[in-house]
Amino acid sequence: MKIKATITNEDSVLKTYTIEASDYSSWAELIDIIPNAVTLGPGQAQDVVLTFNIKEDVADTQTFNLLVKTEKGIKTQPVEVLVETGFSLSRLFKGENTYLWALASLNVLLILIIIIVAIKVARR
């Protein structure tokens, strides 16, 4: 997952900002922040891209903190992201649906056996 953040210097002097992230380890691994430091003049802005590797069983709304550090201190900006999941067999068989999937699999197996037996009987 890539997240773009815009850093803006709202001060009247040149500033260097160092960008970090925190509180994401329960749902992702931080791969990179590009660039992780920017120097901006008054009123200037620059985009920063944070790249996360989402853990396998994570979905729904997740949060992390974007930390923007200057020589004067740290500003923390909470960020909320929606993690949408695609189709995955491992997710399909986990949770409360396991019993239903086992029953459905047994039914499919029985249908296949019936078809095989019917074909053999018809050939005789």
Long-range own/partner contacts, residues 71-80 (CB < 8 A, 24 or more apart): 71/15, 71/16, 77/5, 79/3, 79/5
Token digits of residue 93: 């068989």
DSSP for 57-70 reads T--EEEEEEEEEEE
Report how far apart, in Å, the C-alpha atoms of 25 and of each of 2, 9, 53 are.
Answer: 16, 29, 10
Confidence category of residue 47, pLDDT binned at 50, 70, 90: very high
Rounded CA gap, 32 and 35, in Å? 9
The rounded percent of the chain whose pLDDT value lies above 70 is 88
Per-residue pLDDT reduced to its tens digit, 49-98: 999 999 988 888 999 999 999 999 999 999 999 988 765 555 555 555 66
Give the angle subtended at the CA of 40 by the CAs of 36 and 43, to the nearest 5°.
130
Q: Which domain holds residue 63?
A: 1-86
Residues 30 and 45 in one domain: yes
Same domain, 77 and 91: no
Q: How confident is the model at residue 105 (pLDDT cuts 50, 70, 90)?
A: confident
Total tally of structural domains belonging to the chain: 2
pLDDT in tens, 106-115: 899 999 999 9
35 contacts 49 by C-beta, under 8 angstroms? no
Instruction: Let me know whether 65 and 99 are in one domain.
Output: no
